[in-house]
Amino acid sequence: MSYFHIPVLLNEVIKITDPQKNENLVDGTLGGGGHSKAILEKTGPKGKLLGMDLDPEALRAARDNLKKFEKRIILKRENFTDFSRVVEKYDFHPIDIVLLDLGISSYQLDEDVLGISFLKNQPLDMRIGGELENYDNRITATEILNKWPEEKIKEVIKDYGEERYARAIAKNIVVERKIKKIELTGRLVEIIEKSVPASYKSRRQRIHFATRTFQALRIAVNRELDNLKNALPQILEELSPGGRMAVISFHSLEDRIVKQFFVRESKDCVCDSEVPVCVCHHKARLKILTKKPITPSEEEVEKNPRARSGKLRVAEKVHKVKSL
């Protein structure tokens, strides 16, 4: 199977970021390059792209997909959590548009060799991109499942997966690992299956009973929420005045991080409401362009069911911060 990733909310991204002639784009989650290709079509003849991705397969696919723009693109195996370091390394300025699509590609799910999903019986690694220079080594899902204490496993599954049966799942993981080390996705699915009620495994349920646990482990292994929290301030700092930052999230925790960051950076004061006079001296640096997150249309979801939970938020960096 070739690398394939349908760009989610593509028309909406183009409409609201409104790419202009000769503007530069940083795509921090390049994937197959679908969003970037559409933006590059609008930013000719000199608009450049710096595309980052952890997955070498994604970079190969993007290089092929963006072949006609090869003189205008820089594609690198980098992590967007190191945003400032990466743009400085490749001397990529000015930056007019930044895009983060936080979704997992269809290729990564369908051709999974890392144990990200339960579609195949694979070793429970889950480290997207493997080990990378300049990116501290992440523990594997196997290490979490077999070495972490029960309470910490429960917190991961509950907090990152929003799984209602997290306590029972964590308890059974600890019981089962004493019998035999948990190393394969199939075994983990069996443990989850015996931890949840029959009604939760019904075909009437919207998602598979193991989905939330696998999602939680992937987020923990790849430090996805921390990466996002670290990246957003760097993006704001590097973005040119008038530049737009667009983030597509697929998880309520990711969306909350983006929303709270945008709200905070769009205010002139972030003091506690009980403080009578501003003492923080914070000044608004962003203008929010999406009062509510933009979600996929019914037509898009019908064509691409994996788009259904996507949420797009966009903000613009203000041209001038008011003086104190």
What pTM value is reported for the model?
A: 0.91
Work out the angle between the directed axes of helices 185-193 and 166-179 (0-180°, nearest 10).
Answer: 130
Strands 49-52 and 25-27: parallel
Res 111: pLDDT? 64
In the chain the domains, ranked by start, together with CATH numbers, are 10-108+224-317 (3.40.50.150), 139-222 (1.10.150.170)
Q: Give the DSSP letter of residue 184.
A: B
pLDDT tens for each residue of 124-153: 999 987 665 555 567 999 999 999 999 999
Res 143: pLDDT? 97
8 A C-beta contact, residue 251 and residue 215: yes
154/249 Cα distance (integer angstroms): 24
251/228 Cα distance (integer angstroms): 12
pLDDT at 4 > cutoff 60: no
Q: Is the dihedral of CA 148, 154, 159, 165 positive or negative?
A: positive
Least reliable range by pLDDT among 49-63, 231-245, 270-284: 270-284
